[in-house]
A and B are shown apart, each in its own frame.
Chain A
Amino acid sequence: MTTGEARTDWETVIGLEVHCELRTQTKLFCACRNSFGEEPNTNICPVCLGLPGSLPVLNRTAVEYAMRIGTALHCRIQASQFHRKNYFYPDMPKDYQISQYDVPINADGWLDLPSGQRVGIVRAHLEEDTGKTTHMGGGGRIHDAAHSLVDYNRSGVPLVEIVSAPDMRSAEEARAYVDELRAILVATGASDGKMEEGSLRVDANVSVRRRGETAFGTRCEIKNMNSLRSLGRAIDYEAARQIALIEAGGAVTQETRHWDENAGRTGSMRSKEEAYDYRYFPEPDLVPVDPSPEWIAAVAAELPRLPAERRAALAAASGLPGDSEAVATVVRLGLDDLVEAAAASTATASVAVRRVANEVASDPEAAARLDRVAFARLVAMEAGGELTSAQARTVLKAIMDEGGDPAAVAAQLGFEAMDSGDLDRVVDEVIAGSPDEWARFCAGEEKLQGLFIGAIKKATEGKADLKAASTLLRARRGG
Chain B
Amino acid sequence: MSAPTTARGIAAEVRSGARRAVDVVEEHLVRIEAHEGDVHAFNLVLADAARAQAAAIDEAVAAGRPPGPLAGVPVALKDNLCTRGIPTTCSSRILEGWKPPYDATVVQRLAAAGAVFVGKTNLDEFAMGSSTENSAFGPTANPHDLSRVPGGSSGGSAAAVAAGFAPLALGSDTGGSIRQPAALCGVVGAKPTYGLVSRYGLVAFASSLDQIGPFALDVADAALLLDVLAGPDRRDSTCLAETAPSASARLGEGVDGLRIGVVRELADAEGLSAEVRGRLTEAADALSAAGAKVAEVSIPAAVYGLSAYYLIAPAEASSNLARYDGVRYGLRAGRAAGTGDDPADVSAMYTQTRSAGFGAEVKRRIMLGTYALSAGYYDAYYGKAQQVRTLMVRDFEAAYRDFDVLLAPTAPGTAFELGAKTADPLTMYLNDVCTIPSNLVGHPAMSVPFGGGSDGLPLGVQVLAPALGEAVMFQVAAALEACAPPVPVSPMRGGSR
Contacts and interface: CB of A to CB of B under 8 A. Distances in A.
Given A57-B235, A95-B325, A287-B237, A277 B375 contact: yes
Contacts of A49: 328
Contacts of A280: 373, 378
A53 B346 contact: no
Contact of B237 (A88, A143, A285): A285
14 contacts: A52-B82, A52-B100, A52-B204, A55-B238, A84-B319, A94-B322, A95-B323, A277-B375, A279-B373, A279-B378, A280-B373, A281-B316, A284-B206, A285-B238
Contacts of A286: 237-238
Contacts of A90: 325, 327, 346
B308 to A, nearest CB: 14
Contacts of B184: none
Nearest to A286: B237
B476 to A, nearest CB: 30
B1 to A, nearest CB: 42
A55 B199 contact: yes
Nearest to A52: B203
B348 to A, nearest CB: 12
Nearest to B198: A55
A407 interface: no
A55 B88 contact: no
B400 interface: no
B346 A142 contact: yes
A381 interface: no
A441 interface: no
A53 B104 contact: yes
B322 A52 contact: no
A interface residue count range (under 10 / 10 to 19 / 20 to 34 / 35 or more): 20 to 34
A207 to B, nearest CB: 22
Contacts of A150: 327
Interface string B309-338: 000000110110011010111000000000
B304 interface: no
B350 interface: yes
B137 interface: no
B234 interface: yes
Contacts of B328: 49, 93
Contacts of B147: none
Contact of A95 (B88, B322, B375): B322
A288 to B, nearest CB: 10
B165 interface: no
Contacts of B101: 46, 51
Nearest to A279: B373
Interface string A96-121: 10000000000000000000000000
Nearest to B376: A277
Contacts of B100: 46, 51-53
Interface string B231-272: 000111110000000000000000000000000000000000
Contacts of B323: 50, 52, 93-95
B358 interface: no
Contacts of B322: 86, 88, 94-96
A56 B238 CA distance: 10
A165 interface: no
Instruction: Please list the 6 inter-chain residue pairs (A to B) with the smallest Cβ-Cβ separation, ordered nearest first.
Output: A95-B322, A279-B373, A284-B207, A284-B208, A52-B203, A53-B82
Given A46-B101, A52-B88, A281-B373, A57 B234 contact: yes
B82 to A, nearest CB: 4
A277 B371 CA distance: 11
Interface string B190-216: 000000000111111011100000000
Nearest to B82: A53
A53 B200 contact: yes
B429 interface: no
B416 interface: no
Given A53-B203, A86-B373, A88-B350, A281 B98 contact: no
Interface in A60-106: 84, 86, 88, 90, 93-96
A374 interface: no
Interface string A110-134: 0000000000000000000000000
Given A143-B345, A284-B238, A285-B207, A55 B319 contact: no
Interface in A128-161: 142-143, 148, 150
B382 interface: yes
A84 B204 CA distance: 15
A95 B324 CA distance: 9
Contacts of B234: 57
B177 to A, nearest CB: 16
B16 interface: no
B370 interface: yes
Contact of B329 (A51, A148, A281, A284): A51
B418 to A, nearest CB: 28
A281 B346 contact: no
B108 interface: no
Contacts of A93: 323, 328
B484 to A, nearest CB: 36
Interface in B431-484: none
A434 interface: no
Given A46-B101, A86-B373, A285-B207, A52 B95 contact: yes
A390 interface: no
A279 B314 CA distance: 13
Contacts of B390: none
A58 B315 CA distance: 23
Given A49-B328, A55-B238, A88-B322, 19 more contacts: A46-B100, A46-B102, A52-B82, A52-B204, A53-B201, A53-B202, A54-B200, A55-B235, A55-B237, A56-B237, A57-B235, A84-B319, A90-B327, A93-B328, A95-B322, A148-B346, A279-B374, A284-B206, A286-B237
Contacts of B315: 281
Given A53-B201, A54-B200, A55-B235, A281 B207 contact: no
Contacts of A287: 237-238
Contacts of A95: 322-323, 325
A143 B347 CA distance: 9
Contacts of B325: 88, 90, 95
A186 to B, nearest CB: 31
B237 A277 contact: no
Interface string B98-134: 1011101000000000000000000000000000000
Given A55-B236, A279-B373, A96 B319 contact: yes
B319 A281 contact: yes
Contacts of B201: 53-54
A143 B88 CA distance: 33
Of A86, A88, A279, most buried by chain B (CB within 10 Å of CB) is A279
A55 B98 contact: no
Nearest to B322: A95
Interface string B76-100: 0000111000001010000100101
B15 to A, nearest CB: 31
Contact of B382 (A57, A143, A281): A281
